[in-house]
Structure formats: structure tokens, C-alpha cells
Amino acid sequence: MIDGEKSLIFSVYHHCVEFLVLVLVLVLVLVLVLVLVLVLVLVLVLIWHFVFLIFLDSV
């Protein structure tokens, strides 16, 4: 193999690794955002439920 071919293959490999790392980071960020949204929705539903129960009890 010529040195140029080696460096070309290495650069392509390097770009693939960078792309994979970028995709992994994006997927992790998306999963974190989804988890945060789910937790927020659950907390809001629980708060609404308790407020509704207290409101019903007071009436």
C-alpha cells in the first residue's frame, strides 16, 4: 500500500468515527430530553391530580 492510500483510509476512518460519535451524542441528548419531558409530564399530572383531589375534598 502507498502512504497516500493509508492516510486516505485513515482519514475516512477518522471521519466515520467522528460521525458515529456525533450520532451517539445526538441520540443521548434526544433520550435525555425525552426522559426530562416524561418526568415533567408525570410531575405535572401528579400535581394536577393532587390539586383536583384537594379541590374536590373542599367542595
Q: Give pLDDT tens digits for 3-57.
A: 777 888 888 888 899 999 999 999 999 999 999 999 999 999 999 999 988 888 8
Q: What is the DSSP letter of 59?
A: -
The pLDDT value recorded for residue 1 is 55
Gyration radius (Cα) of the chain, Å: 25
5: its cell numbers:
492510500
Residue 1 covered by a domain:
no
Residue 31 covered by a domain:
yes
Q: Report if pTM > 0.85.
A: no
Residue 38 covered by a domain:
yes
Which residue range forms the structural domain that includes residue 31? 24-59
Residue 58 covered by a domain:
yes
Residue 44 covered by a domain:
yes
Total structural domains in the chain? 1
36: its cell numbers:
426530562
Distance of alpha carbon 28 from alpha carbon 53, whole angstroms: 37
Distance of alpha carbon 47 from alpha carbon 43, whole angstroms: 6
Residue 30 covered by a domain:
yes
Could you report how far apart the first and last alpha carbons of the chain are, in Å? 84
